[in-house]
Amino acid sequence: MEIETLAIHGGRSVDLATGAVATPIYLSTTFEREPDGSYPHGFEYIRSGNPNRKMLEDCLAALEGGSVAAAFASGSAATASVFQALAPGDHVIAPEDAYTGTGTLLRSIFAPWGLAVTFVDMTDVEQVKQAVHPNTRLIWIETPSNPLLKVTDIAKVATIAHQANAICACDNTWASPFLQRPFQQGVDLVVHSTTKYLGGHSDVLGGAVVAQQDSDFFQRIRQVQTAGGAVASPFDCWLVLRGIQTLPCRMRTHAANALKIATFLDQHPAIEAVHYPGLPHHPGHTIATQQMSNGYGGMLSVQVKGDRERAFSVLAKMSLFTRATSLGGVESLIEHRASIEGAGTKTPDNLLRLSIGLEHGDDLIADLEQALG
């Protein structure tokens, strides 16, 4: 089945009890046992399972072409579950430009807990190879990356991981399964912040881990989910599932708008650099073309000519774009990324990150033109 169909039907059916076409929200925290002690519907207690969460997990597994999924209360909780499923003493290779929250988890929580971590430029596969140690258990990919939209060759890094008997996980938040399906390039786990494109409307926090195959490692993630309890609530699962129904339509427009805006900004005299993998001069363009389909995503960054003050003066003039962090919603957002990332960031001070929404591309261009002018 194609992804447009899976987005609407994956994991769901008409409600058997009532015939409701739109999925009901099951708020019950507990489920009835039969006289013999069994649970005929498969649900026992909300932390270990809930019908809305099961539907979302089944849908996400279908969208990514995986087997099983675990939904969490946030993307960061989903990310943390993968690290928690490792053992102290294990070694992780991660990109030096991973999402700041992922870097913080590794540096501040999991390094003291006993994980060894090496950060590399993941676009350079030689660096990844050099970083492999006998205790390497996990290679973490994030592509396109934040905020420079660097592109990692997923298939090559997955091969390095498997040669080292390590697991390869890919944070697919920025592309979404509509634009990139990392299992096709050989990764073992896909991680999402469903807060972004999957939810799609800037109104729900969530995350998920999808596994290509059920495995002992995935069962460990499941245990972290149900024993730790950082699960997605029924309403949050319902909101993400509702958002997923329009994912393919939304992603097409996000990507078309972003390409149009990137092309416009690329020729603008007030812009020093545009980072968007859809532009032919982007260093990751060829790999992105190979491993992404239907477009290059809705995220782009620009470096304005000038300093931090100039970047802030452009921000101050934006009118349709909202000055706010996050991404993946229907509305366009713009942010000064270095000040969000805080002390120690390597993000250039003249960089603005744009999450391109679903407004008309010409209106967004007009807004940028007047702000840059």
C-beta of 137 vs 353, nearer to ligand PLP: 353
d(CA 178, CA 200): 13
- The H-or-E segment that residue 314 falls in is helix 308-317
Q: Which residues contact 35 (CB under 8 A, 6 or more apart)?
A: none
d(CA 205, CA 322): 19
Q: Does 171 bind ligand PLP (CB under 6 A)?
A: yes
Strands 299-304 and 333-336: unpaired
Query: What is the smallest separation between the CB atom of 100 and ligand PLP, expressed in angstroms?
Result: 8
Query: What is the smallest separation between the CB atom of 289 and ligand PLP, expressed in angstroms?
Result: 21
Q: Does 283 bind ligand PLP (CB under 6 A)?
A: no
d(CA 140, CA 364): 34
d(CA 4, CA 248): 6
Mark whether 54 is an active-site residue: no
Q: Tell me if 185 sits within 8 A of 152, measured CB to CB.
A: no
Q: How many CB atoms are located within 10 Å of the residue 292 CB?
A: 23
Q: Determine the size of the site formed for ligand PLP (CB under 6 A).
A: 15
Mark whether 36 is an active-site residue: no
Q: Does 173 bind ligand PLP (CB under 6 A)?
A: yes
d(CA 104, CA 39): 40
C-beta of 76 vs 185, nearer to ligand PLP: 76
Q: Binding ligand PLP by CB under 6 A: which of 83, 99, 140, 276?
A: 99
Q: Does 205 bind ligand PLP (CB under 6 A)?
A: yes
Q: Binding ligand PLP by CB under 6 A: which of 110, 140, 174, 238?
A: 174
* C-beta contacts of 286-290 below 8 A and 24+ residues apart: 287/151, 287/152, 287/153, 288/144, 288/151
Q: Does 136 bind ligand PLP (CB under 6 A)?
A: no
Mark whether 39 is an active-site residue: no
Mark whether 171 is an active-site residue: yes
Q: Binding ligand PLP by CB under 6 A: which of 52, 143, 176, 193?
A: 193
Q: Binding ligand PLP by CB under 6 A: which of 146, 303, 332, 355?
A: 146
Which member of 196, 222, 337, 353 is catalytic? 196
| Residues with active-site annotation | 47, 99, 171, 196
The footprint of ligand PLP (CB under 6 A) covers 74-76, 79, 99, 101, 142, 146, 171, 173-174, 193, 195, 205, 207
